[in-house]
Homo-oligomer: A and B are copies of this chain.
C-alpha cells in the first residue's frame, strides 16, 4: 500500500489490471485525480451527456470515450477502462446482478464510458487547508442523502440530487466554500449550508447511502452535490445494461488534482 500511495497512476493501474490490488483506491497515487465510472450503450449516451451538461455539480464530466473505445484519451490515453478499476458493478434493467474485477466479457462495440469527477479531489484541498473531513477521520464512507432538489431533466434522465455531508467547524465554513469553489470540475462549491430540513433531509443520522458521522458542537453541516446522483438517475431509466465502478473502487487518471483548479 505504501509503495502505491505515491506511485504514478500508470503503475497503480498496472497492479490493478493484474488483480494485485482489489481494494478501494482511496489513498493510492496521491495527488492524482480519481473518477467515477458510468458505462452505457450509445443509444442512451447523448441523453446522459446532456443530463450531465445540465447538472454539472452532481455530474462533472471529465472524460467520455468514443463509442466502442475503452480508452479515456483525455485523462489516461494509456489506460483500459475494462481492466483498470479494481471492482465493477453490472446492472441489468436497473438491477445489480454481479460484481466483477474486469468487464472484458461484458464490453460491446457500441458502449460509451463516462468518467465523472469525484469528491476525493476537493477533500484533499480541504485537508491541505487544515479543514477536517470527518468520515476520513472515522475511516467510514461519507454520509449521502437524497434531497428535494430536482436535477434538470434531459430526455429520459431525471431525479433528485444526492448530496454528501461533511460537518465543518464554524470558523472554517467560509474557507471551505472558497477552497472547493476552485474545483468546479469535481463537484465544486457546496449546494447547501446549515439547514438539512430545507433540502428535504429529516435526520442526518440516517443517511440514504454511506455511514452516519458525529457532528460536534460548533460544527455546521455542509452539503456537496454527490457523484452517486448520475448513477441513481441512470438506474431509474432501467437501461438494458449499465456498468459502473463499485463504490470506492475508482478509476485513477493521469491528471493531477491541482490541474482542475480554476485560478
CB distance from A57 to the nearest CB of B (A): 12
At the interface, yes or no: A199 with Cβ under 8 Å from chain B?
no
Chain A: interface size category: 20 to 34
Inter-subunit contact B53/A64 (CB<8 Å): yes
Do B46 and A262 have beta carbons less than 8 Å apart?
A: no
> Within the complex, which residue of B61, B152, B155, B178 is in contact with A53, where a contact is CB–CB below 8 Å?
B61
Contact A178 to B73, CB < 8 A, known contacts A49-B53, A50-B49, A53-B64: no
User: How many copies of this chain sit in the oligomeric assembly?
Assistant: 2
Closest chain B residue to A48, Cβ basis: B46
Q: Which residues of B contact A49 (CB under 8 A)?
A: 46, 49-50, 53
Most chain B beta-carbon contacts within 10 A, residue among A61, A74, A154, A262: A262
A54 at the interface (CB under 8 A from B): yes
CA distance A54 to B178 in the complex (A): 26
- Complex: how many Å from CA A155 to CA B66? 7
Q: State in angstroms the CA–CA spacing of A154 and B67 once bound together.
A: 10
Q: Contact: B152 with A74, CB < 8 Å?
A: yes
The complex places the Cα of A49 from the Cα of B45 at a distance, in Å, of 11
CB <8 Å contact, A263 and B181: yes
Hey, which chain B residues are within 8 Å of A46, CB to CB? 42, 45-46, 49
Of B64, B74, B181, the residue contacting A262 (CB under 8 A) is B181
Task: Report Cα–Cα, A46/B61, bound state, in Å.
Answer: 14
The 4 closest A-B pairs by CB, nearest first: A46-B46, A181-B263, A49-B49, A50-B64
